[in-house]
């Protein structure tokens, strides 16, 4: 470290790794080096004012030579080897100009600013640093600080400074109240999510119905292309088999030798002239004298009558 700060005029101090103990007589600059370390990390509070029994740092550590307050510190951090520099451009803002570059280069460290330098590199605020890692000789009685109390409570409850059981419980309570509140963005998003789930379920159901309908259409198309055949390889009219009906026979005329016998006429009687059922009707035998034209002929006429019935041809429809 190199400092123009208070009684330090271009003085340098090199610290090693681990614990460093500085032993020197009074008024040699031990407290001044500690104040410089605080200022290079967190800056000088330019709004602080002198009051009874207290002198603000911007006045207390103003260089005795009248030069502008400035300093440089080279340090190793998680970001790499860095060179931190603070200088004073205006008297109203001592050490207000800040720069942070990688050691041995002029490449600036992205995101590292003068206001957030100490908190970025150490992970704690200025107030916590002054009440834990840096305690002034005249500030041995530690005043109350909410941030320090929060960190101590976090260490007690969870074992980590940044994880507080109380804060986590409060966050869960707030989330629970928001969840059960009927107004706000969270209930509206949950309602919208439920509606989207319902629409997705309905779409899946319709997709299954569509697949089933397409399968039925394909099956009907195959049946239309290959319909079932009729009896004996004949295609029935209209796709339906013809209903069974009685077989009817047409009986031809007699032998052509005169009028038909009464027996023959009686035998051919039916629903329609010239048609009869295929089943033979019971034969009736007439004597030769029953018909006027057959008188005197005897058995020969009867025989001729039977011959006419027997000789008559027929066809079935």
Is residue 179 situated within a structural domain? Answer: no
Is residue 14 situated within a structural domain? Answer: yes
Tell me, what's the pLDDT at 307? 41
Is residue 36 situated within a structural domain? Answer: yes
The secondary structure of residue 43, as a DSSP letter, is -
Tell me, what's the pLDDT at 163? 63
3-state DSSP: the chain helix, strand, coil percent, rounded to 5? 40, 15, 45
- Residue corresponding to tokens 């009729």: 230
Name the residue among 40, 47, 91, 35 with its Cα closest to residue 68.
91
On whether the CB atoms of residues 24 and 2 are closer than 8 A, the answer is no
Is residue 67 situated within a structural domain? Answer: yes
Q: Indicate the pLDDT class of residue 14, thresholds 50, 70 and 90.
A: very high
Report the distance separating Cα 101 and Cα 85, nearest Å.
9
Helix (H, G, I), strand (E, B) or coil at 311: helix
CATH (domain of 99)? 3.40.50.300
Segment 268-286 shows an average pLDDT of 51
Is residue 312 situated within a structural domain? Answer: no
Is residue 97 situated within a structural domain? Answer: yes
Tell me, what's the pLDDT at 52? 85
Among the residue ranges 19-28, 32-41, 209-218, the one predicted with the least confidence is: 19-28
Question: In terms of residue numbers, what domain contains 20?
Answer: 2-123
pLDDT, tens digit, 9 for 90 and up, residues 182-198: 666 777 788 889 999 99
Is residue 210 situated within a structural domain? Answer: no
Tell me, what's the pLDDT at 54? 83
On average, the pLDDT of the chain sits at: 74
Is residue 227 situated within a structural domain? Answer: no
**What is the domain count for the chain?**
1
Q: Is pLDDT above 80 for 259?
A: no
């Amino acid at each position: 470290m190199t400092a123009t700060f208070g009684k330090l005029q271009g003085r340098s101090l090199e610290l090693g790794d681990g614990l460093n103990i500085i032993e020197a007589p009074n008024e040699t600059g031990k407290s001044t080096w500690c104040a410089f370390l605080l200022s290079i990390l967190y800056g000088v509070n330019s709004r602080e004012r002198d009051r009874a029994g207290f002198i603000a740092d911007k006045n207390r550590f103003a260089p005795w030579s009248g030069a502008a307050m400035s300093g440089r510190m080279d340090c190793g951090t998680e970001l790499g080897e860095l060179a931190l520099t603070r200088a004073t451009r205006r008297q109203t803002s001592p050490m207000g100009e800040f720069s942070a570059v990688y050691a041995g280069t002029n490449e600036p460290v992205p995101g590292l600013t003068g206001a957030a330098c100490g908190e970025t590199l150490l992970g704690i605020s200025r107030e916590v640093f002054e009440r834990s890692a840096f305690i002034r000789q005249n500030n041995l009685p530690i005043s109350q600080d909410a941030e320090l109390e929060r960190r101590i409570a976090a260490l007690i409850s969870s074992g980590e400074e940044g994880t507080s059981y109380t804060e986590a419980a409060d966050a869960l309570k707030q989330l629970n109240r928001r969840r059960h509140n009927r107004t706000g963005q969270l209930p509206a998003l949950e309602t919208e999510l439920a509606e989207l789930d319902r629409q997705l379920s309905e779409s899946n159901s319709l997709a299954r119905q569509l697949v089933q309908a397409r399968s039925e259409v394909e099956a009907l198309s195959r049946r239309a292309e290959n319909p079932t055949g009729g009896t004996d390889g004949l295609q029935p009219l209209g796709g339906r088999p013809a209903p069974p009906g009685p077989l009817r026979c047409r009986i031809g005329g007699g032998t052509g030798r005169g009028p038909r016998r009464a027996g023959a006429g009686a035998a051919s009687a039916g629903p329609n002239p010239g048609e009869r059922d295929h089943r033979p009707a019971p034969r009736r035998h007439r004597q030769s004298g029953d018909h006027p034209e057959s008188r005197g002929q005897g058995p020969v006429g009867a025989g001729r009558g039977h011959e006419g019935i027997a000789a008559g041809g027929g066809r079935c429809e």
